[in-house]
């Protein structure tokens, strides 16, 4: 099985690559298959995580996600699956409309256009976002709740979803769209995502550093761990198209928590000294973006298809400690 991954240098891409290298046989709609090749694409050279797997060929490419020639070379000869992760994150897309449109919308369209050259439709997995929802929402949001995003990032993801569904209807691809909850706890350093604080208020204090909480403690978010994202992405590759029904889009299961509950889990994991490292500094811009995202979902479709959430906030923190925590000396 040949798999192409865009945005392969990002943290989810890196974790997904490592998973495939450690688990080279995966479930597909036609049965278990061994991965024979990974084609990695990003605007910077995607590293190949250790330990590696000699049975899997690695093809690493650097290019612009809107470059049709580069994408054509990426999938030249055919691939069985494309996992499209390349994106500009929420705050960056809000700050620079042209950049967000180019990467999040035109980049997705370019990937789909490249697929039109293939002799058979590849399975295409698209990472969407909770940000597709917003505005005047019901108390509990469902997959079929109207999509009324309140940010450019969310709007661009909606447009990408519609393209995936239409190209699937036409038989050009076999699409799956997973709407991701806010991802926490992300490894590494804070990024330009509006929700970056949801990771930093756990990550930094547990590593001995201070962190800023820019939103009220009673604000709720809908979370999934990086470990959970990878688990669900891989699971999606094994589901037959007919099980998705009329829409290829679904919201992944997650955990709804307030900032206060997150801080309590931080204190249970790292003690009062970790909790004391979080300082509150309100940022109305961040609150406006993240506060527009719903936090309570009914995920009946995803549940019925075998997608899963983390157990609770303590499990999310434990996954970070086990997988990514760095201890400052």
Q: Tell which residue, 49, 20, 51, has the closest CA to residue 34.
A: 20
**Cβ atoms within 10 Å of 24's Cβ, excluding its own:** 16
- Contact partners, residue 33, CB within 8 Å, separation at least 6: 1, 25, 26, 80
Bridge partners, residue 2, by sequence: 37
Q: Largest Cα–Cα distance of the chain, in whole Å?
A: 59
Integer CA distances (angstroms), 34 to 76, 167, 199, in order: 20, 27, 34
Would you state the structure tokens that stand for residue 143, as one six-digit string? Answer: 């997959």
The catalytic residues are: 153
The position carrying tokens 């997608």 is 307
Q: Tell which residue, 178, 200, 156, has the closest CA to residue 253.
A: 178
Q: 181 and 130 in contact (C-beta within 8 Å)? A: yes
């Amino acid at each position: 099985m040949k798999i192409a991954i865009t945005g392969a240098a990002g943290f989810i891409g890196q974790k997904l690559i490592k998973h495939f290298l450690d688990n080279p046989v995966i479930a597909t709609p036609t049965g278990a298959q061994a991965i024979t090749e990974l084609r990695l694409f990003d605007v910077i050279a995607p590293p190949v995580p250790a330990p590696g797997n000699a049975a899997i060929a690695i093809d690493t490419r650097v290019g612009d996600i809107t470059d049709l020639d580069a994408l054509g070379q990426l999938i030249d000869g055919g691939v069985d699956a494309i996992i499209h992760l390349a994106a500009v994150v929420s705050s960056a897309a809000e700050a620079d409309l042209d950049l967000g449109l180019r990467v999040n919308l035109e980049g997705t369209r370019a990937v789909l256009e490249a697929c039109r050259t293939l002799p058979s439709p590849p399975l295409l997995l698209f990472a969407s976002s909770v940000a597709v929802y917003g505005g005047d929402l019901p108390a509990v949001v469902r997959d079929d709740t109207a999509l009324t995003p309140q940010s450019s990032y969310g709007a661009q993801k909606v447009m990408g979803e519609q393209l995936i569904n239409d190209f699937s209807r036409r038989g050009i691809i076999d699409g799956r769209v997973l709407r991701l909850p806010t991802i926490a706890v992300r490894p590494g350093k804070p990024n330009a995502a509006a929700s970056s604080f949801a990771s930093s208020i756990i990550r930094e204090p547990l590593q001995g550093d201070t962190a800023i909480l820019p939103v009220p403690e009673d604000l709720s978010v809908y979370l999934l761990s990086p470990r959970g994202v990878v688990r669900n992405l891989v699971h999606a590759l094994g589901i037959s198209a007919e099980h998705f029904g009329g829409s290829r889009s679904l919201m992944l299961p997650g955990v709804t928590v307030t900032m206060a509950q997150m801080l309590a889990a931080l204190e249970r994991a790292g003690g009062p000294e970790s909790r004391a490292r979080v300082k509150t500094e309100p940022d109305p811009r961040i609150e406006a973006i993240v506060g527009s995202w719903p936090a309570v979902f009914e995920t009946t479709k995803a549940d019925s298809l075998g997608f899963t959430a983390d157990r609770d906030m303590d499990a999310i923190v434990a996954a970070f400690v086990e997988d990514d925590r760095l201890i400052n000396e």
